[in-house]
Amino acid sequence: MRVSEDRPSASSFEDLAMPLFDQLYNFARWLTQDTAEAEDLVQETYAKALRGFGSFQQGTNFRAWMYRILRNSFLSSRAGLKIVVPLDEEENENILPAENATPESILIGDANREMVQQALGELPVHFREILLLCEVEEMSYQEISATLGIPAGTVMSRLSRARKALRSLLQQKLKGGRHGV
Amino acid sequence: MACEQWRGKLDLYADGELAPAEESVLRAHLNSCAACAVDVLDRVQLKRSVHAAGKRYEPSAEFRARIANTIAKTTATKAPSANVWGWRIIFVPAVIMLIFALALNFYLGRERAARQRVYSELADLHVATLASATPADVISSDKHTVKPWFQGKIPFTFNLPEMPGSAFTLIGGRVTYLEQTPGAHLIYLVRKHEISVFIFPERALQMPSLAAGPVNALSFNTESWTQNGLRYFVVGDASADDIHALSKLMRDAG
């Protein structure tokens, strides 16, 4: 399911922004890994968005605009400043060929919810956020590109790497769990 | 070879990012290739797992209410944007000043018109009286004759100055009307110039603007003042100095 483009011209800031509240908080909580910091981040995002709403370009994607504000606020926060997004590995790189379907990879279907959540939390932030935007927020590559401020080609390659990293983490956890049993 | 061709696009297919034409070709391939179909299934399973696991955190009701309140308060107080306020700061006083200017102009215009009308009427009375064969109903240079003559004819009384040694001579008087108000019309002579002195009750005229200084009405010199509830008008073709001198005598007597 893809969310259609917003139509901000006919609505007030409140009408547009409040329906995004739950998902923005969820995203903020995943980024910060802390409840209080997530609340501060969401509050700061709404305050900045409200101040800048007059300059918001009508007809463009309001959701991507809000996520971009939240992400930029996070990156400029104390926790966000520690985040290093490796750019060199992604630029001008073709989409990585996915690994062949192996018996191990099929077992990912066996990973339970907690295990996936744990693995997501262990991923580097730049992998975690792109997976959340694509899988949870169901953003198109174009929306992700606008939100993260990266080219569409980088969206594809980063997504591929993020999935590979997640898959690898899940396989380790599945093996470990199996060995533990 | 077909599998190698598609391998790099299985993510795009699972993400719904393939062009429709390419997607239908790949779908046909998946129907005939078990290995690629299993691979796609694995990717879709991973997407579903992340989708479910990713929806993990919910904001508290208290936090939601706090943000909603903040937005509602902020939008309520800053509803008019800075531009709108700037526009109002300029426009509202401008409109107020314009209305005030128009009102003042209208008021002053009405005042001017009222004064002009009264003085024109007095000039008419002055000219018509002098042109009449009997300009005065009571003819006397003695104020003790003229003043009592008005008793019972007008609803007020007034004093007249003694004129010995002055250039002015009282000719007589008559009852006249201004704005439907009865008043006294006295006629004086100074060096062959006849001057009319009109006296009306001030309250009946209800034209405060008439207190304004000398007015040149139809080339006549005039002077007007209020004294003891009476409105005096001195109108004549004599010089302004003579008009003023007679006005002073009348004031001193009043």
Residue B152's CATH number? 3.30.200.100
- Domain final residue pick, B52, B73, B92: B52
Q: Which residues in B lie closer than 8 A to residue A25 (C-beta atoms)?
A: 57-59, 63
Nearest-neighbour CA in chain B from A92: distance (Å): 16
Percent of chain B with pLDDT strictly greater than 70? 89
Q: Return the ∠ at Cα B232 (arms to B231 and B234), rounded to 5°.
A: 155
Phi, psi of B154 (to 5 degrees): -130, 150
Residue from B4, B5, B71 whose CB has the most chain A CBs within 10 Å, to mutate: B71
Residue from B3, B38, B56, B84 whose CB has the most chain A CBs within 10 Å, to mutate: B56
**pLDDT value at residue B84:** 55
Nearest-by-Cβ selection for A18 from B12, B43, B68? B68
Domain match, A130 and A166 both: yes
What is the SS3 string spanning B47-73? HHHHHHHHCCCCCCHHHHHHHHHHHHH
Residue from A22, A33, A116 whose CB has the most chain B CBs within 10 Å, to mutate: A116
Question: Could you report how far apart the first and last alpha carbons of chain A are, in Å?
Answer: 39
Work out how many CB contacts closer than 8 A connect A with B.
120
User: For A122-136, B45-59, B69-83, B118-132, which range has the lowest pLDDT when averaged over its residues?
Assistant: B69-83
Domain match, A47 and A111 both: no
Sign of CA dihedral B165, B166, B171, B175: negative
Contact A98 B7 (CB under 8 A): yes
Quote helix, strand, coil % in chain B, to nearest 5. 55, 20, 25
Domain match, A95 and A167 both: yes
**pLDDT value at residue B131:** 79
Nearest-by-Cβ selection for B50 from A2, A39, A116? A116
Nearest-neighbour CA in chain B from A181: distance (Å): 23
Asked if B70 is an interface residue toward chain A (Cβ–Cβ < 8 A), one would say: yes
Long-range contacts of A91-95, Cβ-Cβ distance < 8 Å, separation of 24 or more:
A91/A154, A93/A153, A93/A157, A94/A157, A94/B8, A95/A156, A95/A157, A95/A160, A95/B8, A95/B11, A95/B12
Structure tokens at A123: 């991923």
Contact B15 A26 (CB under 8 A): no
Whether the pLDDT of residue A20 is over 50: the answer is yes
Domain match, B147 and B231 both: yes
Hey, what's the torsion of the CAs at A156, A160, A161, A164, to 10 degrees? 170
Residue A137, SS3 per DSSP: coil
In this predicted model, what pLDDT tens digit does every residue of B118-163 receive, in sequence order? 888 888 888 888 777 778 888 888 888 888 898 888 888 888 888 8
**CA nearest to B69 within chain A:** A14
Which residue do the tokens 């990973």 mark? A111
**pLDDT value at residue B163:** 80
In this predicted model, what pLDDT tens digit does every residue of B185-203 receive, in sequence order? 999 998 888 899 999 988 7
Domain match, B144 and B213 both: yes
Residue A126, SS3 per DSSP: helix
Which residue do the tokens 């003819």 mark? B139
Domain match, A101 and A79 both: no
DSSP state of A99: P
**pLDDT value at residue A3:** 41
Mean pLDDT (whole number) for B19-45: 90
**CA nearest to B64 within chain A:** A21
**pLDDT value at residue B7:** 84
Asked if B53 is an interface residue toward chain A (Cβ–Cβ < 8 A), one would say: yes
- Domain final residue pick, A83, A112, A137: A83
Res. A6 pLDDT band, cuts 50 70 90: very low
Domain match, B128 and B206 both: yes
Nearest-by-Cβ selection for A97 from B7, B42, B45? B7
Percent of chain A with pLDDT strictly greater than 90? 55
**pLDDT value at residue A140:** 95
Nearest-by-Cβ selection for B54 from A14, A101, A120? A120
DSSP B125-185: HHHHHHHSSS--SEE-S-HHHHHHHTBTTBS--------TTSSEEEEEEEEEEETTEEEEE
Which residue do the tokens 């903020």 mark? A28
Domain match, A126 and A165 both: yes
**CA nearest to A166 within chain B:** B46
Res. A154 pLDDT band, cuts 50 70 90: very high
Specify the amino acid at residue A119.
Answer: A
**pLDDT value at residue A179:** 55
**pLDDT value at residue A2:** 43
Res. B210 pLDDT band, cuts 50 70 90: low
Nearest-neighbour CA in chain B from A98: distance (Å): 6
For all residues of chain B together, what is the average pLDDT? 83
To the question of pTM greater than 0.90 for the whole model, the response is no
Asked if B67 is an interface residue toward chain A (Cβ–Cβ < 8 A), one would say: yes
- The CATH number assigned to the domain holding A149 equals 1.10.10.10
In this predicted model, what pLDDT tens digit does every residue of A85-126 receive, in sequence order? 665 555 544 444 444 445 455 556 667 889 999 999 999 999
Res. B88 pLDDT band, cuts 50 70 90: low
Phi, psi of B189 (to 5 degrees): -125, 135
**pLDDT value at residue B225:** 87
Contact A98 B10 (CB under 8 A): yes
Q: Which residue has the higher pLDDT, A141 or B167?
A: A141
**pLDDT value at residue A176:** 76
Whether the pLDDT of residue B23 is over 70: the answer is yes
For all residues of chain A together, what is the average pLDDT? 81
Query: Angle of helix A152-180 relative to helix A113-122, nearest 10 degrees?
Result: 120
In this predicted model, what pLDDT tens digit does every residue of A45-87 receive, in sequence order? 999 998 888 878 777 789 999 999 999 999 888 776 676 666 5
Contact A113 B74 (CB under 8 A): no
**Would you say residue B61 lies in a domain?**
no
- Domain final residue pick, A35, A61, A83: A83
Contact A47 B11 (CB under 8 A): no
**Would you say residue B84 lies in a domain?**
no
Q: Which domain holds residue A162?
A: 86-181
Whether the pLDDT of residue A42 is over 90: the answer is yes
**pLDDT value at residue A92:** 46
**CA nearest to A134 within chain B:** B15
Phi, psi of B128 (to 5 degrees): -60, -40
Mean pLDDT (whole number) for B204-233: 72
Domain match, B121 and B48 both: no
Contact A117 B56 (CB under 8 A): yes
The ipTM assigned to this model is 0.83
Reported as half-sphere exposure (CB side, CA atoms, 13 A), residue A8 has a value of 19
- The CATH number assigned to the domain holding A73 equals 1.10.1740.10
